[in-house]
Amino acid sequence: MKIYVDADACPVKEIIIQIALTKNIPVYLVKSYAHFSTQKDPDGVTSIYVDSDREAADYRILSMLHSGDIVITQDYGLASLALEKKANVLHHKGFMYTEENIDYLLEVRYQHAQARKKKLKTKGPKPLTQEDKDQFKHAFIELLAKM
């Protein structure tokens, strides 16, 4: 089992790394060169840099992903494709993407995109709270315990 993080905008990287390393699970932080850092990754963590193209990180994650791996992302499209590969997919606010909820999430994303094309105002995501981080940590620990 490996953990792949859609890392460009992931606000819970430190939580993921801290927990995964205590369980000796390798973590791959996939991010664009726009987020390049010379900071050395801890043992067990690998930063993988991709072009800044819109879906480059998604394609890279999918190319490495195997059944039973874990993906952390807020991208519904990536989540959908990872579910097809039988991965476990978790949002940074602590909810699991499932075959039961992904179609609804994709539909809502589509409706918001259509509204924005018509210059209608849509709500963006709410700011991440400490409660959200705690919920993620709990869900992540629970997911790892099941595996």
CA 63 to chain centre: 15
pLDDT category of residue 38 using cuts at 50, 70 and 90 = confident
Q: How many CB atoms lie within 10 A of CB 70?
A: 23
Q: Which domain holds residue 69?
A: 3-146
Q: What is the pLDDT of residues 39-89, one digit of tens each?
A: 899 999 999 999 988 889 999 999 999 999 999 999 999 999 999 999 999
CATH code for the domain of 137: 3.40.50
State the pLDDT at residue 51. 93
State the pLDDT at residue 39. 86
State the pLDDT at residue 42. 93
Q: Output the pTM of the full model.
A: 0.88
Mean pLDDT calculated for residue range 139-144: 97
State the pLDDT at residue 147. 85
How many domains would you assign to the chain? 1
